[in-house]
Amino acid sequence: MAKAAASGERILNILQQTPDIQDSPQAKIAPSFRGEVTFENVSFAYDSGQKLLDRLNLTVKPGQLVAISGISGSGKSTSMSLLLRLYDPISGRILIDGEDIRNYTIASVRSQMSVVLQESLLFAATVKENIAYGIDRVSDEAIIAAARLANIDSFITSLPQGYDTILGERGATLSGGQRQRLAIARAAIRRTPILILDEPTTGLDRENEQAVIEALQRLAQQRTTF
With beta carbons less than 8 A apart as the criterion, state whether 44 and 76 touch: no
pLDDT at 1: 64
pTM for the predicted model, two decimal places: 0.82
* pLDDT higher than 80, residue 8: no
At 93, phi and psi to the nearest 5?
Answer: -150, 160
pLDDT at 2: 67
For the segment 177-199, the average pLDDT, to the nearest whole number, is 89
**Cα angle for residues 35, 218, 128 (degrees, 5° grid):** 95
Burial class (CB in 10 A: 0-12, 13-18, 19+), 58: middle
Q: Where is pLDDT greater, at 35 or 8? A: 35
Find all residues with CB under 8 Å of 58, minimum gap 6, and list them. 37, 38, 39, 66
pLDDT digits (tens, 9 = 90+) for 99-148: 999 999 999 999 999 988 877 788 888 999 999 988 888 899 999 999 99
Instruction: Round to whole Å and give the CA distance between 92 and 171.
Output: 40
Residue span(s) of the chain under CATH 3.40.50.300 come to 37-111, 116-225
Lowest mean pLDDT among 43-52, 120-129, 137-146, 155-164: 43-52
Under CATH, to which class is 37-111 assigned?
alpha beta
Query: Any idea of the CA torsion for 132, 138, 143, 149, to the nearest 10 degrees?
Result: -90
Under CATH, to which class is 116-225 assigned?
alpha beta
With beta carbons less than 8 A apart as the criterion, state whether 198 and 217 touch: no
